[in-house]
Structure 1
Amino acid sequence: MNTVREARPGDVPTILQLIHDLAIYEKEPDAVKNTVPRLQEALFGASPSVYAHVAEADGEIQGFALWFLNYSTWEGVNGIYLEDLYVRPDARGAGHGKALLRRLAQIATERGYARVEWSVLDWNEPSIRFYESLGARPQTGWSTFRLTGAALSGFAGTAAQ
């Protein structure tokens, strides 16, 4: 039986393993710095900053969605930003990804949020086709920018002076 549920503290090691698996799929096998204690604190600490849902089949986690709230200044309400969606390769095609996204859409509509959004790598055609089949559309005219590493710390030092 396939189910989607909120993640529980005992799921954290499995979710972290799936994050590592996602990094391998996205051709960044050494990029994950997260740890079980860090993820445990982010999901279940005193002030959770992220949320997760898991898809199960026969009691085994087959995939996960990790998300957080964003805010639309124009709409004046929150939205959901889907940081990661991943389903084990051998479990794909069984509806787990669709069920996870549907649950996030339900949460958004129940709470009056304006949107659910995420990023996808340009080369990831299977995911792009899947998202488009659900009615999602890419945002045109926008580019993602990011400050990290030396650029982040360098700019922070410059800004503090």
Structure 2
Amino acid sequence: MQHLVVRHAEPSDAKTVAGMIEEIERYYGATSIQPFNERLTQVEAALFGTPPLAYCVLALSGDEMLGLAAYSFLWPAAGSTHSLFIKELYVRPDGRRLGTGTRLMREIQAIAAAAPGCSRVEWMTDRDNDGARAFYQGLGFEEFEGKVNYRVGFDIPEPLG
């Protein structure tokens, strides 16, 4: 494997990120996938709009994307501080067990530590995702008990115009 580079996504990465989102959806068992052009439009708006809704760190070996970590800042966290919330950490099968996920997590921690007023990094994983849980435990992270997650979905309305 070539040298691993970890960096923030740039506008020229939007198509690759949109493609990776399909791969992530399939990994989690989705059978209905949003059309590529819709996905691309949403990636561009989310990551590169003004203001951006989210941020994305990529792990690359040469021209090949091996993984990504998508995150946003949430407020409030402890007191009036904010937290960095990792929405998605995904490493392609050919990037696993090579330190890719560890590099992404370390980069996320560095971003949070450098953000004034950021007091912590938070994320979730599925209880039945033994591989992810072992990965996080191997990095020394403890599971946090006590929160119950809720979700409500709705169809995204068509743009006005």
Q: When the two structures are superposed, what TM-score results if normalisation uses the length of structure 1?
A: 0.85
Identify, as 1 or 2, the structure richer in helix. Answer: 1
Structure 1 runs, 4 residues or longer, greater than 6 Å off:
none
Task: State how far apart, in whole Å, the 1-side matches of 2:19 and 2:32 are.
Answer: 13
Q: Offset at 1:73?
A: 4.6
Give the unaligned 5+ runs of structure 1.
151-161
Q: 1:59 deviation in Å?
A: 2.9
Asked whether the 8 Å contact 1:75–1:114 carries over to 2, the reply is no
Q: Work out the number of aligned pairs and report it.
A: 150
Distance 1:122 1:29, change over 3 A: farther
SS in structure 1 of the partner of residue 142 of structure 2 = coil
User: Equivalent residue for 2:131?
Assistant: 126
Percent identity, aligned pairs only, is 28
SS for the counterpart of 2:135 is: helix
The 3 A distance-change label for structure 1 pair 134 and 29 is farther
Other structure's SS at 2:57 match: strand
Q: Which residue of 2 aligns with 1:101?
A: 105
Structure 1 contact 62–96 (Cα < 8 Å) conserved: yes
CA shift digits 1:16-40 (9 cap, x unpaired): 2211111211122426576101110
In structure 2, runs of 5+ residues without a counterpart are 156-161
Q: Which residue matches 2:159?
A: none
- In the other structure, the counterpart of 1:117 is 122
CA change 1:69–1:86 in 2 (3 A) is same
Q: Secondary structure at the match of 1:149?
A: coil
Secondary structure of 2:131's partner? helix
How well do the aligned residues superpose, as a CA RMSD in angstroms? 1.7
